[in-house]
Amino acid sequence: MSIDLAKDARRLRVLLLLAALVFAGLTGWIALRESRPEWEELQGKFRRQTKTSANQKQGIMQLPTCAGTVDRCTTCHLGIQRKDLGGPEIEQPFKGHPQGTAHHLKNRVGCSLFHGGTGRALTSKVAHSMPGTSQKDPMLTQPFIQASCIGCHVPGDQPGMPKLTEGAKLYLLLGCSICHPLTGGGRGGWDYGPDLRSLGRKSLAYLEASLIEPTANFPQSTMPTFKHTFKGQPDHLENMLIYLLSLGLPDAGNCPNRNRQNEAMLSEACANCHSGQSGQACGRFEHRCLYLIERKSELSCAGCHQESIPEPGLGQGLCPPINQHRANCVVCHLEIEKEAGL
Ligand code: HEC
Ligand code: HEC
Ligand code: HEC
Ligand code: HEC
Ligand code: HEC
Ligand code: HEC
C-alpha cells in the first residue's frame, strides 16, 4: 500500500471541516430546542388556537397543593378552568376540566394528588410518569384515578369511586387482610405478609404479578396464587388493583378530608346506642357505613341478644363477636389503628 501524504492531509481537512459543521449544527439545534421548551411551544399554540392576546405571556405556572408539594401541570394544561373548552373537539392538553368534580378544583387541592404524575416536571413525559420512574402513571386515566379518593374519603362515602369500594370489599372477601392486616406495625398475628401501605407506588404489572404469579416478584414467596380467583374476572381484578394502588399512595397530609369525621364514633361501643330491648337503638340517627348495612344479618343485636343487652362483663362492655369484626374496619377506615380502642 502506497502512502500519499498530501492527499491524506487534504482528506483529513475535509473530514475535519465536515465534523465541525455537523457539531455547530447540532449545538445550534440543541440551543434552539432549549430556548423553546415543550411548555412554551404549547403556550404559543394555545394562544393561537384560543386567540388569547399575545402580551398575556403565561410562563411557568406553579400551584402549591394541600399536601405541601408543588404542581406545575397547569403550565401546559391551560384550559383547565375554562368551561368553554370542554367539548370533544378540544385536544389535550387544552381541554377544560370535566364538571362534577368542581368542589375539588375550588379548594386548591392540586392535580397530582388525584392524577398522580410528577407535579414539578416541565416535560410531559416526566410529568405523566409515576414519581421516580419512567412508567406512565395509571391514575391519569379512568378508572384508576379512583385510587386517589382514599386519601380523603372512606371508600364509598361519596359517588364516583365504585371500583375502589368494590376492591376494598374484595380485599376482605378473599382474606388478604389475614396476612396483610393493614394495622399499626403492618403485621398481624399471622406475621405473614408485608404491609401493603409501605410498598410505595408500583406499576399495575407488578401488582398484578403479585396476585397471579407471586413468585415472579419474590422467588420464595409463600403467598398463594389468586390466578383461579381472577380467571375470566377482569372487572374483579381491576377493582383489586385499584385498591392496591390506593394503599401505595403517599399520605395526603393536611389536605381537607372527610375520612376522619367518623373517628370518634368508630371507637364508640355499639351498646352506647343499642341499649334498648334486644339491642334496639332509638333516635334519628341512620348508619351510612356500608359494612354495618351490608352485614346487618350478622351484626343485628337482636339476632343474638333476644332480650336485654348484657351488662359489661369479661368484654368490658364491648361485645366479643362484634369485636372480631373490628379487624375488618381498617380496610375502609384506614386512618384508625387496631390499638385505638378497637
Ligand atoms: C410539558 C407540558 C405538560 C405538563 C407539564 C403536563 N402535561 Fe398533561 N398533557 C400534556 C400533553 C401534550 C397531553 C396530550 C398528549 C398526551 O396524552 O401525552 C397531556 C395529556 C394529559 C392527560 C390526558 C391523558 C390521557 O391519557 O387521557 C392528563 C390526565 C394529564 N395530561 C394530566 C397531567 C397532570 C396531572 C400533570 C401534572 C402532574 C400534567 N398533565 C402535566 C402536556 C403536559
Ligand atoms: C385531597 C383530598 C380529596 C381527594 C383526593 C378526593 N376528595 Fe372528594 N372531597 C374532598 C373534600 C374535602 C370534600 C368536601 C368538600 C366540601 O364540603 O366542600 C369532598 C367532596 C366530594 C364529593 C361531594 C361533592 C359535593 O358537592 O358535595 C364527591 C362526590 C367527591 N368528593 C368525590 C371524590 C372522588 C370520586 C375522588 C377520587 C377521584 C375524590 N373525591 C378525591 C377531598 C378530596
Ligand atoms: C397466606 C398469606 C397471604 C395471603 C392470604 C395473601 N398474601 Fe400477599 N403476600 C404474602 C407474602 C408472604 C408476601 C411477600 C412475598 C414473600 O416474601 O413471600 C406477599 C406479597 C404480596 C404483595 C407484594 C408485596 C411486595 O412487597 O411487593 C402484594 C401486592 C400482595 N401480597 C397482595 C395480596 C392480596 C391483594 C391478597 C388477597 C387477594 C393477598 N396478598 C393475600 C402473603 C399472603
Ligand atoms: C349513635 C348511635 C349508634 C351507634 C354508636 C351504633 N348504632 Fe347501630 N343503629 C343506630 C340506630 C339509631 C339504628 C336504627 C334503629 C334500629 O334499627 O335499632 C341502628 C341500626 C343498626 C343496625 C341495623 C339493625 C337492624 O336489625 O336492622 C345494625 C346492624 C347496627 N345498627 C349495628 C351497629 C354496630 C355493630 C355498632 C357498633 C359498631 C353500632 N350499630 C353503633 C344507632 C347507633
Ligand atoms: C353473633 C352474635 C352476637 C351479635 C350479633 C351481638 N352480640 Fe353481643 N354478645 C354476644 C355474645 C356471645 C356475648 C358474650 C356472652 C354474653 O355476655 O352474653 C355478647 C356480649 C355482649 C355484651 C357484654 C360485653 C361484656 O362486657 O362482656 C354487650 C354489651 C353486647 N354483647 C352488646 C351487643 C350489641 C350492642 C350488639 C348489636 C350492635 C351485639 N352485642 C350483637 C353475641 C352477639
Ligand atoms: C367497605 C368499606 C367499609 C368497611 C369495611 C367499614 N366501613 Fe364503616 N363506613 C364506611 C362508609 C362508606 C361510611 C360513611 C362515611 C361518611 O359518610 O363519612 C362509614 C361510616 C362508619 C361510621 C360512622 C357512622 C355511620 O354508620 O355512618 C361508623 C361508626 C363505622 N363506619 C364503623 C365501622 C366499623 C365498626 C367497621 C368494622 C366492623 C366498619 N365501619 C367497616 C365504609 C366501611
DSSP secondary structure of 122-169: -SHHHHTBPTTSSSBPGGGSTTGGGGGGGGTS-TTSSTT-HHHHHHHH
Contacts of 333 (CB under 8 A, 6+ apart): 154, 259, 262, 266
Distance from C-alpha of 141 to C-alpha of 166, rounded to nearest angstrom: 18
Same domain, yes or no, for 126 and 193? no
Q: Residue 45 domain-assigned?
A: yes
Q: How confident is the model at residue 135 (pLDDT cuts 50, 70, 90)?
A: very high
Q: Residue 216 domain-assigned?
A: yes
Split into its structural domains, the chain has a count of 2
Same domain, yes or no, for 132 and 149? no
Same domain, yes or no, for 105 and 192? no
Angle at 37 between CA 34 and CA 40, to 5 degrees: 140
Nearest CA to ligand 3 atom 37: 176
> Ligand 2 pocket check: which of 63, 71, 101, 103 to mutate, most ligand atoms within 8 Å of Cβ?
103
Same domain, yes or no, for 125 and 64? yes
Ligand closest to the CA atom of residue 342 = 6
Ligand closest to the CA atom of residue 180 = 3
Mean pLDDT, the chain, whole residue set: 88
Q: Say whether the peptide bond before residue 93 is cis (omega within 30 degrees of 0).
A: yes
Which domain, by its residues, includes 81? 40-136
Tens-place pLDDT, residues 141-179: 999 999 999 989 999 999 999 999 999 999 999 999 988
Same domain, yes or no, for 180 and 238? yes
Centre of ligand 2 from the C-alpha of residue 320, in Å: 35
Same domain, yes or no, for 192 and 209? yes
SS3 64: strand
Residue with cell 375488618: 328
DSSP secondary structure of 73-111: GGGT-TTTT-GGG-STTSPTTSPPPPTT-HHHHHTT--S
Q: What is the pLDDT of residue 340?
A: 43
pTM above 0.85, yes or no: yes
- pLDDT at position 103 over 70: no
Taking a C-beta distance cutoff of 8 angstroms, is the pair 182, 247 a contact? yes
pLDDT (mean) for 20-49: 88
Centre of ligand 6 from the C-alpha of residue 304, in Å: 22
- Residue at a domain's end among 104, 136, 168: 136
